[in-house]
């Protein structure tokens, strides 16, 4: 098997691992999972999945579209040729070897399997500190919108520590 085929097969394995990767709890402008799926789909030669509804609504230019504009025109958007050359040099080029693809697969499988969370297990003392045992649970409840503190309860927490 040639190295190109090994890299393509490795990219397919990475895609399978990425599909197991959990969704982000907080929505950002760019999703790690979505960008990596797009990146490795291109390497594996698979069709790139449909854009999410938020991307379609925002009509943002993708990296491929920006690369296409930079590569096919001599001076897009009135850029000087020096700046255009700097931009072309800064465009990332995905060049994976067999070893680097194995490293990608290994790293992603460790993340999906929670290897380091299980290896470096922290005790209950960190999750429930003696001085304020419900500290982290209050934060999580507030983030998820389960339990909101009013202004008086918030001031009491700030001044009293509980």
pLDDT tens-digit map of 83-107: 767 766 766 666 788 898 999 999 9
Lowest-pLDDT choice from 58-62, 78-82, 102-106, 110-114: 58-62
- Cα separation values, 103 from 11, 28, 109, 117, 139, Å: 11, 27, 10, 19, 36
pTM score, whole prediction: 0.56
What are 96's two structure tokens?
């994976």
pLDDT tens profile 71-89: 666 655 566 677 767 766 7
Residues 6+ apart with CB under 8 A from 15: 37, 40, 41, 44, 46
Q: At what angle do helices 3-20 and 32-44 cross, to 10 degrees?
A: 150
CA atoms within 13 A on the CB side of 2: 3
Length of the chain: 162
């Amino acid at each position: 098997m040639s190295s190109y085929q090994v890299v393509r097969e490795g990219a397919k394995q990475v895609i399978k691992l990425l599909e197991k990767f959990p969704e982000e709890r907080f929505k950002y402008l760019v999703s790690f999972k979505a960008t990596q799926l797009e990146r490795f789909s291109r390497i594996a030669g698979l069709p790139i999945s449909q854009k999410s509804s938020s991307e379609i609504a925002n009509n943002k230019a993708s990296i491929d579209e920006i690369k296409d504009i930079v590569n096919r025109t001599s001076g897009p958007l009135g850029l000087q040729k020096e700046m255009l050359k700097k931009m072309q040099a800064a465009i990332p080029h995905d060049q994976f070897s067999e070893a680097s693809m194995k490293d990608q697969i290994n790293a992603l499988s460790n993340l999906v399997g929670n290897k380091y969370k299980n290896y470096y297990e922290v005790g209950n003392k960190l999750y429930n500190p003696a001085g304020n045992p419900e500290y982290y649970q209050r934060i999580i409840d507030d983030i998820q919108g389960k339990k909101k503190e009013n202004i008086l309860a918030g001031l009491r927490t700030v001044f009293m520590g509980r």
